[in-house]
């Protein structure tokens, strides 16, 4: 499993406000270019959003489903990435004084990602998490609407 932690210089409720906004998903999730809710009310249990990933002239779509939520502290998602499979991404927001400690834990579940998962794959996930948490911190701390970090 790949776990990464970042101190965000904002109150936990400010971090949660970004996580709880389906339209902001693409602002902090690395690789996504757009996102919008497609099922239920995000981030209620079972709700889903659709996201796009642009690779040159191609656009790939995926779906993220809320599998567990304990607002405003924990959000567990199952990210469906087509032929690559699915991954579990858990985001925990803890108070740290007046700031927030954000912990991300990701593990491939199904498909190619699950079959190829190993220690080297975890290193790549760690690099992605570092960027993802940087982007989340920038969005929350800067309060920038529509930022693509």
On whether residue 121 sits in a domain, the answer given is yes
pLDDT of 111 higher than 80: no
CA–CA separation, 14 and 116 (whole Å):
36
Q: Look at the alpha carbons of 18, 19, 25, 29 in this order and tell me if their dihedral is positive or negative.
A: positive
* Confidence class for position 71, pLDDT limits 50, 70, 90: very high
Q: Provide the b/e sequence for 52-75 (b: ≥16 CB within 10 Å).
A: ebeeeeeeeebbbbbeebeebebb
On whether residue 116 sits in a domain, the answer given is yes
Domain count, the chain: 1
% the chain with pLDDT above 70: 83
pLDDT of 145 higher than 70: no
On whether residue 7 sits in a domain, the answer given is yes
* Confidence class for position 123, pLDDT limits 50, 70, 90: low
120 Cβ contact partners less than 8 Å away, ≥ 6 residues apart: none
On whether residue 125 sits in a domain, the answer given is yes
* Domain span at 30: 2-142
- Residue 12 corresponds to which tokens in the numbers above? 């936990």
The CATH number of the domain where 37 resides is what? Answer: 3.30.530.20
On whether residue 148 sits in a domain, the answer given is no
Global pTM reads: 0.84
Helix (H, G, I), strand (E, B) or coil at 125: helix
More confident residue, 14 or 87: 14
Query: What number is the average pLDDT over the span 134-143?
Result: 91
On whether residue 119 sits in a domain, the answer given is yes
Query: What number is the average pLDDT over the span 90-108?
Result: 94
pLDDT of 31 higher than 60: yes
């Amino acid at each position: 499993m790949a776990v990464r932690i970042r101190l965000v210089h904002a109150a936990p409720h400010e971090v949660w406000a970004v996580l709880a906004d389906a339209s902001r998903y693409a602002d902090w999730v690395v690789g996504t270019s757009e996102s919008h809710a497609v099922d239920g009310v995000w981030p209620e249990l079972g709700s889903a959003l659709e996201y796009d990933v642009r690779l040159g002239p191609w656009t790939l779509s995926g779906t993220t489903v809320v599998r567990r939520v304990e607002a405003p502290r924990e959000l567990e998602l199952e990210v469906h990435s087509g032929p690559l499979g699915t991954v579990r991404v858990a985001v925990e927001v803890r108070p740290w004084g007046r700031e927030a400690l954000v912990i991300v834990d990701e593990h491939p579940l199904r498909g190619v990602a699950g079959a190829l998962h190993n220690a080297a794959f975890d290193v790549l996930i760690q690099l992605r998490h570092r960027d993802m948490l940087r982007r989340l911190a920038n969005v929350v701390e800067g309060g920038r609407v529509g930022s693509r970090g």
